[in-house]
Chain A
């Protein structure tokens, strides 16, 4: 049986589908984030051999940093789909993803600063990981700014899609800035991401919170894409038939 994927590429059929999915993702997000943080705060040791209680920042720091990077890839994927198939829905998804991606990047930098102050004694350092993450934030902001600077939606969609694709070059830079093949060649303040070394309870909490962040991102991106649909399709009959829910 073939599924007609293009059916949902039309805003009028995607809008109600997204509306049904939002509460599901939001509930999952709340359950996973609360559960993960509960586990992380109450079921893990207070003091580890080399780190004190500030390690609890890691749950939200890692989750937001992973989402920041991942959402950029997702945004570019939607933008490329838009360029290939010229579907309005893909562009709308790309632009709905951008703001959430920017928020996740900002959160990773904010929580990273508090981590840095406790663990390295500095709020900020021009270390490869932090610098590349900051550039990622500017790329998101650039994408959002470019899109809102061009009045015509079709043109702003295409222009910002190209910008997003060019910016994709930063993602491997962020990744390799700490996972570099030869540690002697890149001096990074930021520690390597070595999941194997993390204590198992902390790792579980970290992964559960990350899954929760992912669900949260699905939910808010769908909320935003519904708003974008309303803005762009306000002249259509199906939008005019929508009722205001009490």
Chain B
């Protein structure tokens, strides 16, 4: 197992590349999901505010 992670002495290079890819490609959809939620909530809040005005 540790031999696999060592990558024949190139572990640092291989896992730094893979790690950054994994990090950014998980971060992007998560950020978009959070943004989506808060946008929908804001729209609902605005709707309620307008409804209470009338």
Contacts and interface: CB of A to CB of B under 8 A. Distances in A.
A53 B8 CA distance: 6
B34 to A, nearest CB: 10
B36 A230 contact: yes
Interface string B27-44: 011001101110111111
Interface residues of B, number: 29
Given A226-B36, A227-B36, A244-B40, A114 B13 contact: yes
Given A61-B17, A242-B40, A244-B37, A54 B10 contact: yes
A223 B32 contact: yes
Contacts of A231: 39
Contacts of B37: 244
Contact of B8 (A47, A100, A245): A47
A69 B20 CA distance: 19
**Interface secondary structure of A, over-half rule:** helix
Interface of A: 26, 41, 46-47, 52-54, 56-57, 60-61, 64, 99-100, 103, 106-107, 110-111, 114-115, 117-118, 216, 219-220, 223-224, 226-227, 230-231, 234, 239-240, 242-245
Interface of B: 4, 7-10, 13-14, 16-18, 20-21, 24-25, 28-29, 32-33, 35-37, 39-44, 46-47
